Structure 1
């Protein structure tokens, strides 16, 4: 085996010499390529060789080939252009052939070889591979698609023949039927082009193609009961007006056999919007205005909803949701020319609310679309009946209560909202504080704050810091300090409370360093096990206020204080991986 490998490597010497001579690769790079190839050669020539070894070697050679092309373009090296690449390409081809001799039943390998030969312009070899694949892998549907694609360039009839054979073996394969239809459309376009048709009147080719496509659809439906398949065919045919008759038959089939699918009605409604009308009255057959198409589209949605209400009531909500989402999207995109009158949107929301139980998001959208305050409140109230725990609806309800400036109504709405939303009610508390800040005295505002900080952590954690800021502004720093000490010791602890109090202390004209130090210490005590920044803040405090601390206490030693913080941090953070590493890095940066 060793002699065989060395012989192979020796045959590459001319290739390496040319690479070096034209400076495509350095000597070190060439040695690395040689070493890598040697490793691959030993693997594929070993007793326990595997397909994976061949594929790894092939992928490596392809990577070298790509690298050469990139380097030639970058360095503008044209010397020996093609010769080196051809040598590597032949090696890849040889590797594929050896692999296939050993693993002839591996379809991905054969397919990969075919694609390589096609890209490398080994057309004769590619043609032979296709013939081999279609004999050996008849049980794989992709075989026939690949074969059809290969023959399509030169022989459309042979491409169709491949697809027909594929369908014979795989009567339930959707892709093969779609491919057959695509090829038939391609054939029709080619024939009409040869005939010089201006597509004004159906040609013989049109009629013949329609018959064939219809035959494919009928044959497929005998073995495939999937509405998505029919919708896919419709989308293919939609671009070809001459297939209208086939499209109509497919729509009829969808309505007959798949009327319980919301996606079917959505697709049919969208076809109406694009101007592909089904059973339009003769007097309206030439009408194609945007207004007409929109009405046809919405009528189709309503037709589907009516059918589902009788036969599939559990899916009515889904279809209404699809309809409303599309309609709102069109309305919001009207600046781009897709004008949808607001009346249409509001009318459909009204109909939907009477026919179905809407999700909360639709009540929110509906309310925001309305201009009539009375109607807005009615919609919100109806939404809250269906979704009584919806935070967004309660926020809207509070907003409109605030706009009426009725304190009693606002308070009742706020209490009910908090009761319903519970731990998610922080935004309602914030809204209440803002409302009463504008409409009530400070005692009422403070009473709300006091209730808020007694709520679950999801609420109190948000409002404790705001309460301290509010106290500072309205009653002064001493009141804020006293409340801070009380709240700071209340569980669950609030990290942001310490941050806010530290900011307040830091902006005082005469900073009380003892109180500020206590804030940092409390933060470390409560959160030092999960947050390295609280320790960093305390260290920064000592460095920043060193002189002031010495004035307070002549025995103050900053090194000693910083070391004490470091030791305490180590007790709580050491062994916590990233947190400890993060702290030590920041500590080192501060201390330098």
Structure 2
């Protein structure tokens, strides 16, 4: 091993002598470099070669090369670059190759080597490196794309890029991204040719019949892609790619014609056709260019809506209605005058009524309908509609919340709101009903405070921990605020005997007690002891907080900490006990996060 290391060190001596001779490094620095490289070489010559050792050596050499460049610029000294800088760069490449040979499965290692070559501007070697990498990682589509992108954008070799993507598709014919990027690459190549002609001053392109120049190869790619993957959304995904270029209007029309002929039974096709009219005026041949801007926009909107109507004649589904109404709602937001706003809202109400009568209106659109009615001063209609929706989706939490909130905001009589709340908690499954209970508590606190206690009692009595446990905590908080700490302590004494209990229940009572001006340690100890009976085996923080109480409270007894410590070690599970010991040690050594002090 030593002979190999010595041989490698001797090879770098001429390079180091040149560094010292031209003043890049002092003799002392050269000795440090030799020691560092010798240590690195010994690690690489060991029997167990690790990737980390290679990476450390590579990183050291890259930093050294960067330091040399900085010193050259500072000294304005650029002699012997081939003997020094290039020699180090070649050594880094050899290290990369050695590491890659041993750890070929590491994609990052390959890419790091390629990135280094890019920085060195060794473009002549990158294509070969990508080729070797793909021999090992041909199942990774992202690497094929990276290689093709390099060939097209940086190596200016579109034929190589095309060849790579064709090979990638043979390996992965079902990967949509490969087809999309292949299509984009052909359009980019066409765009480059067009721009090159513009730079050369050739403006007349009417006589150019070249297939690449006209973008026909891209359309061949699209046709092959859609034959391989006959999915409508995949076919439509090529439209945004077309929009990136200014010569692809014909491509867009061909894509639309393609999906129309093959997927006329898909809602998304009609939606895209209508949206194109609204987003690109040039695709509509029926708009009079002499019309004022607002009238032209109205005509386009009418034309787009007529496409949705045709779609409904072919596909009578809830999704079709949803897409139609979503577009109508988007157009509503773009209204610029009150007159236009009224017409559009009237149109939306009409459409929603039609969809509702056919039982094809989605739940979210029902709620949007009610919101719009409420916004445009049709409050009673909105409330009636919200009740209908709640009855239709009687187990949905969001629907009931919307309905109740709408009635509360419109100051409906208390009896009606109370009835709605009772209906909601009966029909919504208990596991989903907690938001409704909380809303009921908020409303009752303001509107019917005399019924609040009964509501809370009903909440803690529900045979579902998802509701009963949070309601206990809420009950404690409300009683402490309304009736004082004494009533809260009394309630705590009763509720702690009603199972199940949560850790949050005990912590809520501890926080309520700590909110007092002088929290008595007697009660705080009681709460901690009660909590430890149920959660002492699993909760480390509870034991730590108990110890912290004895240390920080004005009437605490630090001598009790030892007893609490041994109790914790015995009761906690082995894994939790180790965590507790670590936290306790940090607490004892003063590395604890700051906690509020207890009053005297």
TM-score, scaled relative to structure 2: 0.73
Tell me the distance in 1 between the aligned counterparts of 2:63 and 2:362: 54
Question: How far is the alpha carbon of 1:458 from its aligned partner?
Answer: 1.9
Match of 1:566 in 2: 565
Query: What is the DSSP-based 3-state SS (H/G/I as helix, E as strand, rest coil) of the residue aligned with 1:517?
Result: helix
Match of 1:552 in 2: none
Find 1:430's aligned residue among 432, 438, 446: 438
Find 2:278's aligned residue among 273, 276, 288: 273
Question: How far is the alpha carbon of 1:417 from its aligned partner?
Answer: 0.7
Q: Does structure 2 retain, via aligned residues, the 8 Å contact 1:148–1:160?
A: no
Match of 2:215 in 1: 213
Tell me the distance in 1 between the aligned counterparts of 2:323 and 2:113: 46
Q: Does structure 2 retain, via aligned residues, the 8 Å contact 1:145–1:179?
A: no
CA deviation digits over 1:227-261, x for unaligned, max 9? 45644543343354544334322211121113344
Moved more, 459-468 or 106-115: 106-115
The residue correspondences of 1:27-426 to structure 2 (distance < 5 A) are: 27-28=31-32, 30-40=34-44, 42=45, 57=54, 60-61=57-58, 64-65=61-62, 68-69=65-66, 72-73=69-70, 77-78=74-75, 82-83=81-82, 84-92=84-92, 119-122=119-122, 129=128, 150=151, 159-160=158-159, 163=162, 174=179, 175-197=181-203, 203-205=206-208, 208=210, 212-214=214-216, 216-218=218-220, 220-222=222-224, 224-225=226-227, 226=229, 227=232, 230-275=235-280, 278=283, 280-281=285-286, 283=288, 291=298, 299-300=306-307, 303-304=310-311, 306-309=313-316, 313=317, 316-317=318-319, 343=345, 353=356, 360-369=363-372, 370-371=374-375, 372-402=378-408, 403-421=410-428, 422-426=430-434
Change (3 A) 1:561 1:17: same
Query: What is the DSSP-based 3-state SS (H/G/I as helix, E as strand, rest coil) of the residue aligned with 1:195?
Result: coil
Change (3 A) 1:351 1:71: farther
Q: Does structure 1 retain, via aligned residues, the 8 Å contact 2:425–2:436?
A: yes
Question: How far is the alpha carbon of 1:270 from its aligned partner?
Answer: 3.9
Match of 2:597 in 1: none
Match of 2:532 in 1: 524
Query: What is the DSSP-based 3-state SS (H/G/I as helix, E as strand, rest coil) of the residue aligned with 2:537?
Result: coil
Q: Does structure 2 retain, via aligned residues, the 8 Å contact 1:398–1:410?
A: yes
Q: Does structure 1 retain, via aligned residues, the 8 Å contact 2:148–2:165?
A: no
Q: Does structure 1 retain, via aligned residues, the 8 Å contact 2:190–2:215?
A: yes
Moved more, 94-103 or 276-285: 94-103
Match of 1:555 in 2: none
Match of 1:553 in 2: none
Change (3 A) 1:454 1:91: same
Q: Does structure 2 retain, via aligned residues, the 8 Å contact 1:117–1:123?
A: yes
Tell me the distance in 2 between the aligned counterparts of 1:193 and 1:587: 76
Query: What is the DSSP-based 3-state SS (H/G/I as helix, E as strand, rest coil) of the residue aligned with 1:404?
Result: coil
Match of 1:578 in 2: 579
Question: How far is the alpha carbon of 1:286 from its aligned partner?
Answer: 8.3
Q: Does structure 1 retain, via aligned residues, the 8 Å contact 2:211–2:217?
A: no
Question: How far is the alpha carbon of 1:214 from its aligned partner?
Answer: 3.4
Change (3 A) 1:236 1:379: same
Match of 1:491 in 2: 499
Tell me the distance in 2 between the aligned counterparts of 1:262 and 1:584: 65
Unmatched tracts of structure 1, length 5 or more: 550-557
Query: What is the DSSP-based 3-state SS (H/G/I as helix, E as strand, rest coil) of the residue aligned with 2:191?
Result: helix
Tell me the distance in 2 between the aligned counterparts of 1:541 and 1:345: 62
Change (3 A) 1:287 1:474: closer
Question: How far is the alpha carbon of 1:446 from its aligned partner?
Answer: 1.4
Find 1:447's aligned residue among 423, 447, 454: 454
TM-score, scaled relative to structure 1: 0.73
Query: What is the DSSP-based 3-state SS (H/G/I as helix, E as strand, rest coil) of the residue aligned with 1:389?
Result: coil
